[in-house]
Structure 1
Amino acid sequence: MNPQTQEIRQPEPPQAPVATFTVQLSSTRRGARLARLLATQWLEEHGVPFGSTASHTAALIVAELAANAVRHCGNIGRDFRLCLTLSEPTPGRRLRVEVTDARADKPLPPGSPPPSGTEEESGRGLVLVDALADRWGNRVNDRITKTLWAELDLPL
């Protein structure tokens, strides 16, 4: 596990965004796949080459957060929203991935993600996000929506 993740559960103060991309997608496997494809295309357009380590890591994070939204909202026909923000903090760039779904009534269990080696059948995607992201967390926005977010420090 990334030791920074356990200490930082709230987002850091926002940095000046350079570029933002937001899209509403259906809570289906196809919607989750489209989220990943759109993210890698958008990153390439903003200087993160497709196939690079940063692009691959970002794609995995987007895929896991989108799959989580599909799992919680797909059976009730609610969409999810993907928001990508590229910032230029000093000394390097930062990508923030946010996936918002309409299941605030399904918050993450305390102590998420589950420790590796448990017999749980779900929740391993958050273990992957924890390992890949520099920071991540979640917030309940209102009675209906919650957002899972992850930040990735990108090489210059």
Structure 2
Amino acid sequence: MNQKIAATNSQLDGTIPNFTVMLSCTPRGARLARLLAADQLRGWGLPTDPATLVVAELAANAATHGRLPGRSFRLTLYVVGRTLRIEVTDTRGDRLPELGAVDAQAESGRGLLLVDALADRWDVAEGRFPRKTVWAELRL
């Protein structure tokens, strides 16, 4: 089941705008991550592109490569100053993403190349086993 955990829409009171949601580790959950991110960014008055593309790729990777039966992945968005940080956490800490060469004939495998091209910075943070968080930052 998808569960909205937290959303804050104003920096006026000194809080950091943030949004966190747990989603099923399925293609449907990955699509929902992109839609929810777009809705949240619009609510904050921020542009949706290229952030929604980065969310879509990271969420698709979590649903494809980070999937464990019965486990969800977490999408977190927050804004600090003029930087949007996107985090996707899954429970496959044993499978860290790698940016590598892609076969020109392959139909998939370009997601991290897209994230690398669109994000100002990105990396992987190993969490408390078995978790990992793939994050990306975009200057606004």
Q: Please state which band the TM-score falls in when normalised by the shorter chain.
A: 0.7 to 0.9
Residue correspondence of structure 1 range 74-153 to structure 2 within 5 A: 74=67, 76-88=69-81, 93-108=82-97, 112-116=98-102, 122-153=108-139
Check the 8 A contact 1:85/1:96 in 2, yes or no. Answer: yes
Deviation at 1:72, TM superposition (A): 2.1
In the superposition, the TM-score normalised over structure 2's length comes to 0.82
Supply the AA of the counterpart residue of 1:94. T
Q: Per residue, is there more helix in 1 or in 2?
A: 1
Q: Which runs of 4+ in 1 moved over 4 A?
A: 116-122
Supply the AA of the counterpart residue of 2:35. L
In the superposition, the TM-score normalised over structure 1's length comes to 0.74
In structure 2, what is the Cα distance between the partners aligned to 1:17 and 1:39? 19
Q: Per residue, is there more strand in 1 or in 2?
A: 2
Residues 20, 69 of structure 1: CA spacing in aligned structure 2 closer, same or farther, 3 A cutoff?
same
In structure 2, what is the Cα distance between the partners aligned to 1:19 and 1:76? 32
Match of 2:9 in 1: none
* 1:42 corresponds to which of 40, 44, 52: 40
Q: Percent sequence identity over matched residues? A: 52
Check the 8 A contact 1:114/1:124 in 2, yes or no. Answer: no
In structure 1, what is the Cα distance between the partners aligned to 2:43 and 2:131? 30
* 1:56 corresponds to which of 42, 49, 68: 49
Residue correspondence of structure 1 range 13-32 to structure 2 within 5 A: 18-32=16-30
Q: CA RMSD in A?
A: 1.9
Return the structure number with greater relative CO, CA threshold 8 A, min gap 6. Answer: 1
Deviation at 1:17, TM superposition (A): 6.0
Supply the AA of the counterpart residue of 2:100. P
Structure 2 unaligned residues grouped into runs of 5+? 1-13
Supply the AA of the counterpart residue of 1:55. T
Deviation at 1:47, TM superposition (A): 1.1
Match of 1:8 in 2: none
Check the 8 A contact 2:67/2:91 in 1, yes or no. Answer: no
